[in-house]
Amino acid sequence: MKIFISNSSSYPIYEQVVRQIKKQIFSGELKSGDALPSIRVLARELKISVITTRRVYEELEKEGYVNAVTGKGSYVASLDEEFLHEKRMKMIEDKLTEVIAEAKLLGIKKKELQVMLADLFEEE
């Protein structure tokens, strides 16, 4: 597993790790049934605390991405395409909600935001 932690990120360390693991699951780099490193091994590799790593795994398990098997470790959960699609949509919806709140604070109108989104989407 390739995970990079940025000290300049606005996201806390545990969230950076959670997001990167989710991204690897969405991309298919991590597949259903794949074993994740133990909490201690991942903490050592990333040079972060065991408490932070435990929080990462608990968050992933709570959201349904990982199954923990007592005494054996944590594994990528069996996820169907519909589940993954819904999770992706929820992530985008959450980000758009943040953007809309920020736009309202800055006095940006809905039409302006729609034009901005259309322009940015076309660039890809």
Average pLDDT over residues 63-83: 89
Q: Are the C-beta atoms of residues 56 and 21 closer than 8 Å to each other?
A: yes
Tell me the pTM. Answer: 0.73
User: Is 80 exceeded by the pLDDT of residue 80?
Assistant: no
> What are the phi and psi torsion angles at 123 (to 5°)?
-65, -30
Q: Which residue has the higher pLDDT, 78 or 50?
A: 50
Contact 58, 101 (CB under 8 A): no
| pLDDT exceeds cutoff 60 at 124 | no
At 85-99, the pLDDT tens digits run 888 888 899 999 999
Query: What is the amino acid identity at position 78?
Result: S
- Cβ count within 10 A of residue 21: 23
CA 25, CA 46: separation in Å to the nearest integer? 19
What is the average pLDDT value for the chain, to the nearest integer? 92
Contact of 39 with 32, CB cutoff 8 Å = no
pLDDT value at residue 81: 79
Q: Give the pLDDT of residue 99.
A: 93
> Average of pLDDT values for 47-66?
95
